[in-house]
């Protein structure tokens, strides 16, 4: 019989991009930890640096478990990230079911990414109140995926849907998010206002021409207007550049 005063020893192994959260010396290898006694597997994993929002499946000695599982001496823990192609319906997935219409909330440091996501048609909030608690509340109450580069934010217990953005360049961030959540088949470009997130609708030229410059009135006949802030859009040179961005993005995902 194991001496209860001797504590427990647990071996962890993290897979795929979960290794991004670990020190280089602990990536892609077994990690052995000693604890004074039984404890929550969720707390143990997060103490190693991996946020619970990034995890889709935990196996202990080959069996799927929930975050409430209490570690035992000799446990071997395998931790997996989000599964998209692999069918794991027979085991215990840990994240909520995927949203039918992916919606996002971003912290204030991802402003350019928010505009790109809106450009592609995704409902994306960028709250003025960037307090961590406020961001988590919006994510939970509105069932939005929280995107941030602040790792500490994802340790909050209430948060259910979140993703730590690895890239620092906004266009690379966009490609990363599209690939991570496999959104390439649900893009609806130019359907949202990039400034306020409102929906765009076609509008007659006569209704908005007083807001247009003379050159714009002369060259263009098709216009769209935001139902929320009233901003007017047309297919100018900026439209062509954005079409090239989208084409490159979709092409990259299909390779």
On average, the pLDDT of the chain sits at 88
Instruction: Please write down the HEC assignment for all residues of 102-156.
Output: CEEEECHHHHHHHHHHHHCCCEEECCCCCCHHHHHHHHHHCCCEEEECCHHHHHC
Name the more confident of 167 and 181. Answer: 167
First-last CA distance in the chain: 55
When pLDDT is cut at 50, 70 and 90, the band that residue 167 belongs to is very high
pLDDT at position 237: 82
- The residue extents of the domains of the chain are 4-80, 103-189, 200-250
How far is Cα 99 from Cα 65, in angstroms, rounded to an integer? 23
- The most confident of 64-68, 90-94, 237-241, by mean pLDDT: 64-68
pLDDT tens track for 95-114 = 555 555 789 999 999 999 99
Query: What is the token pair recorded at 81?
Result: 């990230």
Q: What CA dihedral angle connects 126, 130, 131 and 136, to 10 degrees?
A: 20
pLDDT at position 251: 67
pLDDT at position 203: 96
Query: What is the token pair recorded at 13?
Result: 């192994």
* CB-based contacts of 142-146 (< 8 A; 24+ apart in sequence): 142/103, 142/105, 143/96, 143/99, 143/103, 144/103, 144/104, 144/105, 145/99, 145/102, 145/103, 145/104, 145/105, 145/181, 146/53, 146/104, 146/105, 146/106, 146/107
106, β-bridge pairs: 147
Query: What is the token pair recorded at 40?
Result: 């929550």
pLDDT at position 101: 74
Gyration radius (Cα) of the chain, Å:
23
Closest by Cα among 113, 79, 100, 239 to 183: 100
Q: What percent of the chain has pLDDT over 70?
A: 89
Q: What is the homologous superfamily of the domain 4-80 according to CATH?
A: Beta-grasp domain (3.10.20.30)
Q: Give pTM, 2 decimals.
A: 0.73
How many residues are listed for the chain in this entry? 255
Name the more confident of 135 and 157. Answer: 135
How confident is the model over 234-241, as a mean pLDDT? 87
When pLDDT is cut at 50, 70 and 90, the band that residue 83 belongs to is low
How confident is the model over 73-86, as a mean pLDDT? 79
Of 12-26, 84-98, 142-156, 180-194, the one with minimum mean pLDDT is 84-98
Name the more confident of 35 and 99. Answer: 35
Residue 177 has pLDDT above 90, yes or no: yes
pLDDT at position 214: 92
Of 39-53, 76-90, 98-112, 196-210, the one with minimum mean pLDDT is 76-90
pLDDT at position 3: 53
Residue 13 has pLDDT above 90, yes or no: yes
Hey, is 242 helix, strand or coil? helix
């Amino acid at each position: 019989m194991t001496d209860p005063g001797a504590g427990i020893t647990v071996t962890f192994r993290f897979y795929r991009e979960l290794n991004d959260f670990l020190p280089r010396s602990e990536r892609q290898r077994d990690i052995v930890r000693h604890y004074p006694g039984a404890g929550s597997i969720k707390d143990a994993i997060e103490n190693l640096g991996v946020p619970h929002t990034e995890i889709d499946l935990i196996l202990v000695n080959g069996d799927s478990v929930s975050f409430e599982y209490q570690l035992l001496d000799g446990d071997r823990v395998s931790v997996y990230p989000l599964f998209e192609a692999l069918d794991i319906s027979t085991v215990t997935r840990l994240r909520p079911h995927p949203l039918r219409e992916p919606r996002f909330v971003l912290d204030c440091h991802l402003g350019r990414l928010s505009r790109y996501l809106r450009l592609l048609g995704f409902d994306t909030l960028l709250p003025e109140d960037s307090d961590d608690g406020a961001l988590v509340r919006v994510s939970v109450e509105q069932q939005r995926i929280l995107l941030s580069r602040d790792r500490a934010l994802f340790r909050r217990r209430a948060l259910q849907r979140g993703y730590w953005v690895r890239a620092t360049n906004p266009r690379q961030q966009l490609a990363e998010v599209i690939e991570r959540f496999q959104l390439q088949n649900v893009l609806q470009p130019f359907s949202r206002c990039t400034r306020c997130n409102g929906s765009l609708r076609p509008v007659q030229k006569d209704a908005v021409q007083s807001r247009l410059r003379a050159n714009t009135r002369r060259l263009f006949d098709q216009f769209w207007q935001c139902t929320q802030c009233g901003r007017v859009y047309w297919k100018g040179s900026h439209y062509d550049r954005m079409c090239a961005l989208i084409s490159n993005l979709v092409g990259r995902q299909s390779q």
